[in-house]
Structure 1
């Protein structure tokens, strides 16, 4: 029976969360919205539509949503050729692949953005598949992205570990019934990750790799 190692990407494997904060902040600013950066940071990890709804509320002018998403995409796209992988990201995926885990990415990114993230990680030889935002009806914190990743891996929830950096990741993984591992490199506090369902928390991929033998992957 397959074992699935499911990974969020932004803030977990690639150091992009603060780029998202700045580019979303600028997109909101251009549209006339004063949204504090700390609030944007807490919303990173949600899909575009959910992030906008979370920050502007349900009573917002929804006709602006597409323009806001497009502005963020254009601003963030300026960084595609220099997105930095987090320490140990590629090495961790290769080690798990070597240890017979089926590695699947579960991310709200798609298209050229996903391609840029995969180039940054530089571990395509270890990645079996990707569950992107194009593949599901509801993004995190709904369990659907993680459940779809398990389907792609051919593994049950009882033989899966999900690694992420936000409370949205932990909630999605907990709802999907998998073991959840948090990393601090996305900027979310340990206590918040644990409260949302993280069974273990590490500094970054390199820290998880160094302590793999005593982690939920053991």
Structure 2
């Protein structure tokens, strides 16, 4: 399926890796990891937190994504042989509340809003995480609302969260363009019935799926250009 701009009424964004840069945790990590590469530790932390969420889906156990991140951070540090105490781990974990915002985000969303599209966030992040993201990124005036996995206690890429989001937003799911940086997230939105827009922030490969993104972009401005036609 190719992208149909005429069918789009609403835009939903993922949060982490889409609006804010999760690799930004490498800077605070660098204060603690000494001879280790903080970027590699950050990557291990991120991948483990996503793995915990997906396993939680599979075995029907739920804890907030912030708790998943806490456990994943401990795993990453211990795997790398880095010894930090609990208070220091909490300081590192708290950086998720102040991650750097990608340069194209605010101007890009402003263009989409000016073109008449309501914009939402649909995220695995907990409600507290999303509240702090909006405040730190200064997006509260541009985002209509946030939809958290906390609301149904299931994580993306399970289709239930995308469908719950469509119900909450009040737009037919096929009229929502879902924008995400996750190679695992966009297929979930497509499978649930949304138009999937992949913003390849990490310069990575698409998964080995029969389904391709409906649209691949490099910045939010590319999406605005596509919709403005």
Q: TM (normalized to structure 2)? A: 0.67
The SS at the match of 1:201 is strand
CA distance in 1, matches of 2:167, 2:97: 31
User: What residue is the counterpart of 1:91 in the other structure?
Assistant: 107
Q: Give CA deviations for 1:6-28 in whole Å, capped at 9, x if unaligned.
A: 100000010114639x98xx9xx
Q: Is it true that 1:104 corresponds to 2:110 in the alignment?
A: no
Equivalent residue of 1:125, what SS?
coil
SS, match of residue 120 in structure 1: helix
The number of residue pairs the alignment matches comes to: 191
Tell me the equivalent position of 1:7: 13
1:198 corresponds to which of 188, 210, 213: 213
Using the alignment, how far apart are the partners of 1:209 and 1:149 within structure 2?
24
Between structure 1 and structure 2, the one with the greater Rg is 2
CA contact (8 A) 1:47 1:139 kept: no
Q: Are 1:19 and 2:25 matched, yes or no?
A: yes
Q: CA deviation at 1:103?
A: 1.0
- 1:120 has 2:132 as partner: no
2:161 and 2:186 map into 1 onto residues whose CA distance is 12
For residues 74-96 of structure 1, the C-alpha deviation after alignment (integer angstroms, 9 at most, x for no partner) is 35533156421001112222222
Gaps of 5+ in 2: 1-6, 33-39, 60-65, 74-88
SS at match of 1:167: coil
Change (3 A) 1:75 1:140: farther
Cross-structure match for 1:182: 198
Distance change in 2, residues 1:171/1:14 (3 Å): same
- Match of 2:224? 212
Q: Partners of 1:38 and 1:177 in 2: how far apart?
A: 30
Q: How does 1:22-41 map to 2 (within 5 A)?
A: 41=46
CA RMSD between the two structures:
3.7
Aligned partners of 1:85 and 1:121 also within 8 Å: yes
1:161 equivalent to 2:154? Answer no
Show structure 1 runs of 5+ residues with no match. Answer: 27-34, 59-65
| Secondary structure of residue in 2 paired with 1:11 | coil
Distance 1:194 1:125 in 2: 37
- 1:36-58 CA distance string (max 9 Å, x none): 876655566x384436799xxx8
**Distance in 2 (alpha carbons) for counterparts of 1:76 and 1:43:** 16
Q: Which residue of 1 aligns with 2:85?
A: none
Alpha-carbon distance, 1:182 to partner: 0.8
Distance 1:168 1:211, change over 3 A: closer
C-alpha deviations, 1:112-144, integer Å up to 9, x for none? Answer: 322222123212111111110211232111112
Instruction: Report the Cα distance in structure 2 between the residues aligned to 1:67 and 1:129, rounded to whole angstroms.
Output: 23
* Residue 130 of structure 1 pairs with residue 139 of structure 2: no
For residue 173 of structure 1, report the CA deviation from its aligned partner: 0.6
